[in-house]
Amino acid sequence: MSAASMAGKTVLITGGNSGIGLVAATALAGMGARVVLACRRSQAAEAAAQQIRAAHPGAGVETVALDLASLESVRRAAREVRERFPVIDVLLNNAGLANVSRETSQDGFELTFATNHLGPFLFTRLLLPAMAPEGRIINVASEAHRMGRMHWDDLQLTDNYWVMRAYAQSKLANILFTRELADQLAGTGIAVSALHPGAVSTSIWPENRWYERAFTRVLKLFLISPEKGARTSIWLASGVEGGKSRGGYFERCKPRQPSARARDKADQTRLWTLSEQLTGLPAFSDKELSA
């Protein structure tokens, strides 16, 4: 898939209203793709859509309401997407969260884990029947996964919560999910990949409380721009290499080997099965691709 061939393609991006998601959405719309922004805040999504249309007059940009921290919202959004967009060529699971203090979702899950893993897991699974025969599923992970481990005895981090412990666990989960999804889809034409965008200055870092603002302002001194951070997402969505990936992990538009923990097949399978249970999904079946 070259850049020119994005014409006629439908690209669904979660969290596409800001940061690297907005940069990627703008670039792909400029290549001719119809871009769908799946975002938690509808007003922000529409403002982003208008911004993209201003940059690329005539671009097809649409929005869908999606709160990844709510399983009900994920199911509702997936139904709407399948009704409005029967074929998805690229699903870019881009939205993410990092909470300085522990919070829980309305479903009772630790909020970072719910937003960064369980929501995208469910959303992706529900959209599989809509994926094009040679579609692409791209998960934005992070090099922070190398700091992480799956806390199987306390997955919701009820004890000893720390922002980087939660974030690193969720990013490790992203890669475990990517690799297991690729295994489950073996024999299909659907490409699956994960990526590290770089340490990017985005809105995932909260600034609601004074200590969160202080933490985020110091952190941003060491972060790169969203424009640089979006390059690998755009490359995987539009380039030839992205269509060949079967669970690969990429950084700066090049393949990279993830951590040993991320390559643990037993953990891949364990997380997949547990995620099905937590989201109320039945065990995966090939029939799911045409449901």
| pLDDT one digit per residue (tens) for the chain, 291 residues | 444 579 999 999 999 999 999 999 999 999 999 999 999 999 999 999 999 999 999 999 999 999 999 999 999 999 999 999 999 999 999 999 999 899 999 999 999 999 999 999 999 999 999 999 999 999 999 999 999 999 999 999 999 999 999 999 999 999 999 999 999 999 999 999 999 996 544 555 455 555 445 545 545 544 546 668 899 999 999 999 999 999 999 999 999 999 999 999 999 999 999 999 999 999 998 878 887
Contact 193, 138 (CB under 8 A): yes
204: in domain? no
| Residue 12: burial class (beta carbons within 10 Å; 0-12, 13-18, 19+) | buried
The count of structural domains within the chain is 1
Please give the span between the terminal C-alpha atoms of the chain, in angstroms, as a whole number: 27
Taking the C-alpha atoms of residue 249 and residue 270, their distance in angstroms, rounded to an integer, is 20
Spatial distance between the Cα atoms of 73 and 42, rounded to a whole number of angstroms:
13
Strands 246-251 and 254-255: antiparallel
3-state secondary structure of 247: strand
Q: In what order do the strands lie in the sheet with 34-39?
A: 61-65, 34-39, 10-14, 88-93, 131-140, 191-196, 246-251, 254-255
Q: What is the DSSP letter of 189?
A: S
Residue 12 included in any domain: yes
Concatenate the DSSP letters of all residues of 9-69 into one string.
-EEEEETTTSHHHHHHHHHHHHTT-EEEEEES-HHHHHHHHHHHHHHSTT--EEEEE--TT
- Is the whole-model pTM more than 0.85? yes
CATH of the domain at 41: 3.40.50.720
Cβ(194)–Cβ(96) below 8 Å = no
Q: Which residues are catalytic?
A: 167
Is 185 part of a structural domain of the chain?
yes
> Which pLDDT does position 289 carry in this prediction?
86
Indicate whether 291 belongs to any domain. Answer: no
Task: Tell me what pLDDT residue 287 has.
Answer: 77
Instruction: Judge whether 128 lies within some domain.
Output: yes
Rg (the chain; Cα; Å): 17
Confidence (pLDDT) at 1: 44
The verdict on residue 29 lying in a domain is yes
pLDDT at 256: 97
Going by the DSSP 8-state scheme, the letter that residue 209 receives in this structure is: S
Angle (nearest 5°) at CA 225 between 220 and 230: 130
The residue written with tokens 């998601």 in the block is: 21
Residue 290 resides in a domain: no
Domain assignment of residue 23, given as a range: 3-199+226-282
Rounded distance between C-alpha atoms, residue 193 and residue 243, angstroms: 9
Does residue 238 fall inside a structural domain? yes
